[in-house]
């Protein structure tokens, strides 16, 4: 039913060192598009205008994933952890942030009707741009 699908991912990992009551955590964060799972149906693109609209909509998914990457890093990295709670809290924070942005991706598609509701798409474009501006 769709002309394109952009699959994104977000991952984190960490290494921890405990020395007495001191805890040191090194985090790694990554995210992006998963090319092997993303696709486009060229026969569904009738002209350049449709192509631009489709590309803009799919770019919105990439931008939401970037927001997940940046916000997820902030919320996971800068939480206060201690030696007894860090594993549980890191997992809980990552799950919460991932769920929030996963739901945002779904709302984005539902409200824009996968990019075909141009008025809703424009509102989302503005919202995403405002959110991205926070990281410039």
Residue-wise pLDDT for 77-106, tens only, equals 999 999 999 999 999 999 999 999 999 999
| pTM (whole model) above 0.75 | yes
Residue 81 has a pLDDT of 96
**pLDDT for residue 1 is more than 80:** no
**Residue 112 neighbours by CB under 8 Å, 6+ apart:** 57, 60, 120, 121, 124
Would you give the distance in Å from CA 54 to the centre of its chain?
Answer: 18
Q: What percent of the chain has pLDDT over 70?
A: 100
Burial 31-46 (b: 16+ CB within 10 A, else e): beeeeeeeebeeeebe
pLDDT tens-digit profile of 59-81? Answer: 999 999 999 999 999 999 999 99
* pLDDT at position 44: 92
- Ramachandran angles phi, psi of 37, nearest 5°: -110, -5
* CA–CA gap between residue 94 and residue 75 (Å, rounded): 8
């Amino acid at each position: 039913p769709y002309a394109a699908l952009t699959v994104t991912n977000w991952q984190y990992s960490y290494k921890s060192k405990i020395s007495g009551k001191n805890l040191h955590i090194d985090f790694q964060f990554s995210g992006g598009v998963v090319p092997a799972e993303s696709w486009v149906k060229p026969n569904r693109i009738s002209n350049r205008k449709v192509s631009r609209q489709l590309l803009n909509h799919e770019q919105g998914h990439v931008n939401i994933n970037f927001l997940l990457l940046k916000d997820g890093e902030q919320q996971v990295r800068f939480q206060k952890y201690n030696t007894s709670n860090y594993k549980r809290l890191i997992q809980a924070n990552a799950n919460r942030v991932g769920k929030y942005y996963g739901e945002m991706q779904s709302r984005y598609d539902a409200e824009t009707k996968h990019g075909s509701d141009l008025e809703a798409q424009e509102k989302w474009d503005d919202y995403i741009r405002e959110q991205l501006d926070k990281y410039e």
